[in-house]
Each structure stands twice: as structure tokens, then as C-alpha cells.
Chains A and B, each alone.
Chain A
């Protein structure tokens, strides 16, 4: 059974940093591209970042470019999101999601999410 479990969320002050993790199991993690998607309270889904299966190709939403860094450790079956210079508008539930196959493909499995709250 495919499982994605996020962790690392919490309360952080504006300007602070946080590192999210996503532990994957039930599939060959190193063969799949992965994404982070977030959802602010009461708002819609917003794509955050993409990483290829090898980690060689990375994309970011304009809203986080230069502040967030996506990475992965295929040996540990783990996906990460390093978030720096956090702002109030980064407050959201962050989901990791598996991309089925190829850029124009779909997100077939999602984790349950981890809540990040940026507030003083």
C-alpha cells in the first residue's frame, strides 16, 4: 500500500525557517517524481514545488522561489521542503504528492498533510 506521511509542521515566527519531511513507503520511491502542494486555511490548492526522480530537475512556484528548497533522499525514501524567510501568507497545510508519470501527469497519491503556521 502506498503511503506518504508528512511531518515537521508547526508554529514559526515570521522570518523563521522550517523543514518539512515526507516519508514514502509501499512503492519504489526512486522511480517517481514528487511534488509539494499547499492549502491555506479556507482557500484552494496551490502547487509549491516539483522534483524529478533523480533530483536533477526542480521547479518552484513564483510565490516561494528563492525561499524554499525541495530535495529528496532516495536511499531514505524521503522528500523534504526547506522553508526559509517564512511569511504569514505561507501559513497552510502542506501536502506531499506523488506524480504518476511525466510532467503532464496527475498526482495519484497524497499524504494527509502537515500544518505550518507563521505567526508572531
Chain B
């Protein structure tokens, strides 16, 4: 089965840049989507199709995808960005949706 691997945690100071990776075999050939989840809340889509942002999501959130790694970048990090982040793809070889292991972003 297809596996997406994320670092368990990322710490970043306010105003700096956080980069969250999502590793998977030839993930560059897939469309990667990213979700933000704050405690006690449902996930919220922050980036779709590798690098597009839904309306209402700040431009500080951006994404890229190539080779075996997709990356979510949060620029000028704010305290309100502290949350868990998950990548997600569709695995057509098994007809399954797959979520990454999740990354907790802590704002120092």
C-alpha cells in the first residue's frame, strides 16, 4: 500500500518560514492536497493540487511537489498557524485515499 511520511513535528519562530515535507514513492506524479487541523476542530483544506490555495487561505501558504517529496511552506508564520498538518493523495493502484502521518507545527 502507498505510504506518505511526514516529520512528526516542526518548530518555528514567529515571522520565520516553516517547511513541512511529505514523502512518497514518485509522489511528484500525483496531486497532493494539504489540510490544517486545530485541536477539537475538523480539518481545513489549505493547499490543493500541489500548489493552489482555496479562497480565504492566506498567500503565506504555498506548496510544491516533485520527485519523491511534496512540501507545504508557511511563510511569515503566525501564532494562529500552530496546528497539525496532513498531506493527502489518491492512490489509483489500490483505489484508496491516503493521508500522511501528520506534522505538528509549534510556533515558539
Contact = CB atoms under 8 A, between A and B. Distances in A.
Contact of A103 (B48, B90, B102): B90
Contact of A108 (B37, B54, B90): B54
B31 A95 contact: no
A47 to B, nearest CB: 4
B99 A112 contact: no
Interface residues on A, range: 20 to 34
A6 to B, nearest CB: 10
Contacts of A106: 31, 33, 45, 48-49, 88
Interface in A76-98: 95
A44 B42 contact: no
A108 B42 contact: no
Contacts of A59: 95-96
Nearest 3 CB-CB pairings of A with B? A47-B97, A106-B33, A44-B102
Interface of B: 1, 30-31, 33, 35, 37, 41-45, 48-49, 54, 84, 86, 88-90, 92, 95-102
